[in-house]
Structures are given as structure tokens and as C-alpha cells.
Chains A and B, each alone.
Chain A
Amino acid sequence: MSKAKPLGGRIITPTLFICVIFTGFFLYFAVQRFVFGIGSVTNLNDGFPWGIWIAYDVVVGSAFACGGYVMALMVYVLNKGEFHPLVRPALLASMFGYTLAGVSVFLDIGRYWNAYNLYLPWQMNFHSVMFEVAMCIGTYIFVLWLEFSPAFVEKWHLTKAGSFLNRIVFALIALGVLLPTMHQSSLGTMMLMAGFKLDPLWHTSSLPLLFLLTAIFMGFAMVIFEGTLSSRIYDLGDETAMFSKIARIVSWVLGFYMVIRFQNIFMRGELGHAFSGSFLGNMFLLENVLLLVGLVILGAEKKRSNPQALFVAAVAILLGGSLFRFNTYIIGFDPGTGWKYFPSVGEQMITYGLIAIEIGAYTVFVKFFSVFTTHTPVKSNQKERIPHV
């Protein structure tokens, strides 16, 4: 078993350069938002108070960032030590995903200077789903940085901090499993309150369970997606064997999800609505067809040991899961007063900028800190090698 170590190599790459440009756009529109108000940058309105900053950056983005959660669950709770090499890359992606979700929330909330009220006991509203989500995500960002901090310890030889971390690390990992379980399901509970504004294809009391399950299989799918890309780009060697084991778990979770999803729609008598050919019905079908494609590929033992098929399945699952979450937060939402919403250019630039920061920071971090465990490179994988990305 080889140890994780920094990749080294050139820091300034074309990828990083593109990321920096988008970060520039992000900064421009962020300044505009703080000077002239949210309305000057976004198309948000009183009917659609939440747009892509919540639906993508927080709701979908945090599901993409569930890799750290599911890998910690596998390795430390279910004791599958064989996946150990995947934990740290997943944690790093989760750390950036959640941190930038936090940044996005800070841009989105209108009265950010009052945010400290969340921590004043006499202001806390324990009935509020938003309160629980805010506390959980806020704490989890902190936990993720601590979970990842052994990489900092190794880099700068902080022996004192390291031994302290070692003493509390099991509590951190436990929190790192509990908190996402709580807030990922609560992201579903959140939209129950929308009541009649949310289409019945998505408004169901099973939303918390559906959101938790999507978080789990999207987290796994992200590990496969990211792992496939980085093992190609950074010549980490062939990890397909590990991914196909994960894929098997995904197929079970996803299968369970699909059964619940359709049983729920059927029991509530909404199946006709789903197949009615209406826009929302089609969105529902599209969301589930994407997931089904993933399920069919991963369900077949032969397919899931093929890296290309694995990658296609992971992408389909990520898209399907994201569409489910988008549908629940924006597309299936209709306040019923003629309001319309489509994200403005500035709004989109903030989101693209956050994604760019995430990718850029990731590429820098893996070169500086011990993230990846290199296997003996398999020669055949080096053919399509892209140097210095």
C-alpha cells in the first residue's frame, strides 16, 4: 500500500488560466451585487425568490460534494478499508464544493451582516428547516476542513497539531457522516413548505428520503466521475477495479430510489400526470430516464468493469440527480401569480465562477498536498495522456 503524496509539476496550466478568467467574472458580478443589490445582478423576483445560486450552488452543488460523505461512510463506518485511496480526493472535492456553497449563500442572502443571528440562542428557531440546514452546512464546512487538515499537517510537518488532530479525528469523521445525513434530507423537507406551489410530481412527504438517497448515489457517482478524470489526467494508474465495486453499491441504492420514486408517484395517483406529455411530466420522465440509463449500465457486471461505460453511467446519474433537484427547487415550482424566472447572465457568471474556483483550487491543491495515491501506472492508460493540466 503506497502512501498519498503531492503530485508536484507545473502549477500554471491552461486549465488554471481559464479558471482564473472565470473567477474574474465572478468577482465583477459579486461586487455589483454588493453595491447595487441582488436585483441588479439576478432575475430573481418576489415569485421566484430562489434561483440557481440556491438550486445549483447549494442544492445540486452540495450533492456533487457528497463524495467525502459517502467515502467516509464506506471506509470508516462500514469498514471497507480497500477504498482508502479514494477518501482524500473525495474529501478535497467535498471541501471545496461545500465551502463554495457557503460563499454562494453569503451572496444570496440579502442581509448577510445579520448572519450571526443564526448563532444567537434567543434568535434560533428550532421549528425552521432552514435553521437546521444552515447550522448543519455551516458546521460541516468547518468539519470538512478539519477532516482534510492531515494533508496540511503532512505538508508543513505540524507535529503538535497532528497529534491533537489524531485524538479528535474519529469524532470529526463521525460528524462528517452525521451532518450530511441530516442536512441532505432536510434539503428535501425544505420544499415541503412550498405546499401547492410545488408540483405534486415533486411535492411529497417522501422528499427527505428522496433527497438523502440522491445525495448518496450522486456522491458515489461523483467519486467515479472525478476519479476517472484525475486518474487519466494525472496518470494515477488504473482504478477501475475500485470504481466497479463502488458502481455495484450505486446500482443498489439507485434501484431502491427508483422503486420508491415510482411507487410514491403511483400511490398518490400522479402517474397519469407524469405521462401526460405536459412540460413538467416530461421533465419528470427525463430525470428518471437519465437515472435509469445509469442503473442499466451499472446493473450489468460486464459493463461496470469497463471504464468508458462507468464514466457514461456516472455522468447520466449526476445529470439525472441534478435534474431531480432542479425540478424540486425551480422547474416544478410555480407561485401561481404569473411570475417567471430564468437566470440572468450575471447570475450564471457567479455560478460558473464558483465552479471555476473549485476546479482551479483543486488542481493546485493536488500538486501541493498529499491527496492522491499513485499506483504503478498502467502503460496502456498513458496513450491519451494530457500533460500538465
Chain B
Amino acid sequence: MKIKRRDFLKGAAGGLALLSLDADDSHARSVQALPPEALGILYDSTLCVGCNSCMPACKKANNMDPEFSGNQQIWDNPPDLSSKTLNVIKRYSNGTAATKDVEIDGYAFIKRQCLHCVDPSCVTACPVSALIKDESTGIVIYNKHACIGCRYCQVACPYNIPKFEWDDPFPEIVKCQLCHHLIEDGGMPACCSVCPTGASLFGKVSELIVETRRRLQMKPGKEYDFPVSSLNSGKSHQYKAPKYLRHVYGKEELGGTQVMYMSAVDYTKFGLPSFPKESFVSMASGIQYAIYKGMVYPLVVLAGLIFMVKKNKSEDEQRKNNENNEPREGNHE
């Protein structure tokens, strides 16, 4: 009996050791791969002229009201993403802001929205599968009928994308869903269909990646064709190629994203953090997986515990019975 208890304690200690393992050693979970038919957006900051036409188009496509900021109450003018705004164009500017796409004394635009991660933290975090990644398109979709409003997705998202309706007694999580309702009917995200310059370009992620390679090989200053709205729309404009950064944001960040950025200005200037290739998800769920896979460890521990408690409890009762049979001194009853 004694030996059995020691064995159990050893097992428990082993479980504890597992808990303290470094993530690298406990990779029981494979990192999610990009679905072959995954859809996404390539946003080229150098093509964006800051006309903001994607913003009201987004509101219209998603039945949302305009959001005002400052004193004006005339047109949609959100300062940032919020529970009322899924898509926003923000501006970086420095010094005199004279030249576009230059870091010093220049300015540049960035489009903020859900990036539809290849390995999304929010999907792993959600306890009730209210956020799921569509198996074929890879779009991260929200299901309000399952959501319990715990907001773990907000804590988990490295880009701070999911927003919560704080002032609604029946709140929802709000984020861009890549206009999947339009895509189902053969359409494309509203922001891409209205973009006049092709800065927001819709397409298959695999083809968009090919397009980023084409752009990175362009000779700055020389004129090239740039497709508008989507890769296969047939429409295109001719522009002089800018001096691109040799880094496509979202191609590898935290396992990659389906919305990608190209720019001539460093991404950290737009408030986009520089991230490692491995997602934080794989670290957390790697540990979780090593311990809870198939619930084997917990069940073994439970069996051991039941055994020991039962044994100790019956010994305890026997002791008590013996005591009860003996005459008690100074009893309280």
C-alpha cells in the first residue's frame, strides 16, 4: 500500500514537471496551415491615397451606423477601430509631412482591420467555438449565438482587433469578417470593390503572395500594371513602382495572416508590432495539450486520488468508531 502511494506521488510530480516544461519541448499541437483556397486582402500602402471610401462602403455592407469624432456630426470619422467600425484608414505623418511614403518629413496610410490569422489566437481562445476559422476560405467568422461574452479573444488577439459593445446590455463581439456574406454570393469585400486605386486588393492568398513577389521585383520609378479591386477583375492602373520595404507584413508574422501589407514606410511607424514567426497560441496550447491530451493524465490522477482517499477515509472512520466505543470524557453532547 505504501509503495502504491509513493508511485502515485511520483506520477503527480511527473505531471508537475510537465507543467514547467518549456514550450519548445511540448509541441504536441501542430501549427495550423493555410487552407489552399484561403481568401485575403493585399493592402499596398503606397497605392492608398487616403480617400477613405472603403470606410463608408464597409459600414453599408455590414449595416452599421457612422461613427463621429471631434465636434463634427456630419460624416463617418472614427479615430480607430471600435465596436462601431470594422475597418479604418489611419495616417502616419512626420515633420512637414511633405512627401508621401517617406518616414522623415513624410506621410503614409495604413488600413487597420482583422488580419484573419492563419493560426488565430481568438479561435483557440474561444471556449465555445463562437469564433471559427472557415475550413475552405480561412475567414475568421463570429457566431453571436454561441458567444458568452468572456472577452478572452480580446486578451488573446495580438493585434487588438476584436471589439466589445460595452454600453449595450446585450453586447456582441465585433470584428471584420471579410464580408463573407458578399463572398458567398460571388462578390468580394466591400472595401476592395470600391477602392479606386487597387490599394486594397482581394484574391486568393496564394495568388496574392505571388503578386507581392512580383511587386518586390519591380524597379522603382518604372511603370507597371497594378490590378484594381481583385486579382482577376480585369481592371488595372499603371503606376510608377515605389521603393518597397523588403518585408511583406503578415506573410510570416505569428504564423502568417491572410490580410497582408506592403509599404515603403516601416510597419512599426503604423503601430504594427514586429512579431516572431511562431504564434503565442502554439506556446499556450502546446502546454495545455501535453497535459490534457485525451484527458489521460487527469483521469489517472483522479483514479489514484480516489484510491488513496477511500483508503484513508475508511481508516479514519475505523479510528473514529473505536473512539466512540470508548467512554468519552468531558463530552459536549
Q: Which of A206-260 contact B (CB under 8 A)?
A: 206, 208-209, 212, 260
Residues on B with beta carbons closer than 8 Å to the beta carbon of A260: 20
CA distance A128 to B128 in the complex (A): 8
CA distance A42 to B152 in the complex (A): 17
CB distance A37 to B310 under 8 Å?
A: no
CB distance A46 to B164 under 8 Å?
A: yes
CB distance B149 to A112 under 8 Å?
A: yes
CB distance B312 to A76 under 8 Å?
A: yes
CB distance A169 to B313 under 8 Å?
A: yes
Check: A272 CB closer than 8 A to any chain B CB. no
Decide yes or no: A132 and B288 within 8 Å by CB, A38-B166, A49-B155, A208-B19 being known contacts: yes
Residues on B with beta carbons closer than 8 Å to the beta carbon of A131: 127-128
Decide yes or no: A171 and B306 within 8 Å by CB, A109-B149, A127-B124 being known contacts: yes
CB distance A178 to B298 under 8 Å?
A: yes
CA distance A351 to B333 in the complex (A): 40
Q: How far is the CB of B144 from chain A (nearest CB, A)?
A: 8
CB distance B124 to A114 under 8 Å?
A: no
CB distance B152 to A46 under 8 Å?
A: no
Q: Which of A186-217 contact B (CB under 8 A)?
A: 186, 189-197, 205-206, 208-209, 212
Decide yes or no: A3 and B149 within 8 Å by CB, A182-B298, A192-B280, A193-B125 being known contacts: no
Residues on A with beta carbons closer than 8 Å to the beta carbon of B281: 193
Residues on B with beta carbons closer than 8 Å to the beta carbon of A75: 312
Q: Which of A35, A177, A185, A376 contacts B19 (CB 8 A)?
A: A185
Number of A-B contacts (CB under 8 A): 213
Q: Which of A35-58 contact B (CB under 8 A)?
A: 35-40, 42, 44-47, 49-50
A contact residues, range:
35 or more
Q: Which of A109-124 contact B (CB under 8 A)?
A: 109-112, 114-115, 117-118, 120, 123-124
CB distance B288 to A189 under 8 Å?
A: yes
CB distance B127 to A118 under 8 Å?
A: yes
Q: Which of B166, B170, B271, B284 contacts A44 (CB 8 A)?
A: B166
Residues on B with beta carbons closer than 8 Å to the beta carbon of A335: 160
CA distance A46 to B78 in the complex (A): 15
CA distance A14 to B325 in the complex (A): 43
CA distance A354 to B167 in the complex (A): 23
Check: A158 CB closer than 8 A to any chain B CB. no
CB distance B154 to A2 under 8 Å?
A: no
CA distance A5 to B175 in the complex (A): 57
CB distance B313 to A173 under 8 Å?
A: yes
Decide yes or no: A124 and B284 within 8 Å by CB, A37-B169, A40-B167 being known contacts: no
CA distance A118 to B320 in the complex (A): 42
Check: B165 CB closer than 8 A to any chain A CB. yes
Check: A11 CB closer than 8 A to any chain B CB. no
CB distance B313 to A76 under 8 Å?
A: yes
Residues on B with beta carbons closer than 8 Å to the beta carbon of A169: 313
Q: How far is the CB of B81 from chain A (nearest CB, A)?
A: 8
Q: Which of B19, B166, B319 contacts A81 (CB 8 A)?
A: B319
Q: How far is the CB of B272 from chain A (nearest CB, A)?
A: 11
Residues on A with beta carbons closer than 8 Å to the beta carbon of B315: 79
CB distance A174 to B128 under 8 Å?
A: no
CB distance B145 to A114 under 8 Å?
A: yes
Q: Which of A5, A77, A84, A124 contacts B332 (CB 8 A)?
A: A5
Decide yes or no: A212 and B313 within 8 Å by CB, A117-B128, A125-B129 being known contacts: no
Check: B301 CB closer than 8 A to any chain A CB. yes
Check: A130 CB closer than 8 A to any chain B CB. yes
Additional A-B contacts beyond A110-B164, A111-B144, A114-B149 (10; CB < 8 A) = A3-B332, A3-B333, A36-B169, A38-B166, A46-B160, A79-B315, A192-B280, A193-B156, A196-B275, A336-B273
List residues of B whose CB falls within 8 A of some A CB: 16, 19-23, 29, 82-83, 121, 124-130, 144-152, 154-156, 158, 160, 162-172, 271, 273, 275, 280-281, 283-285, 287-289, 292, 298, 301-302, 305-306, 308-310, 312-313, 315-316, 319-320, 323, 330-333
List residues of A whose CB falls within 8 A of some B CB: 1-3, 5, 34-40, 42, 44-47, 49-50, 75-77, 79, 81, 84, 108-112, 114-115, 117-118, 120, 123-132, 134, 169-171, 173-175, 177-178, 181-182, 185-186, 189-197, 205-206, 208-209, 212, 260, 335-337, 374, 376
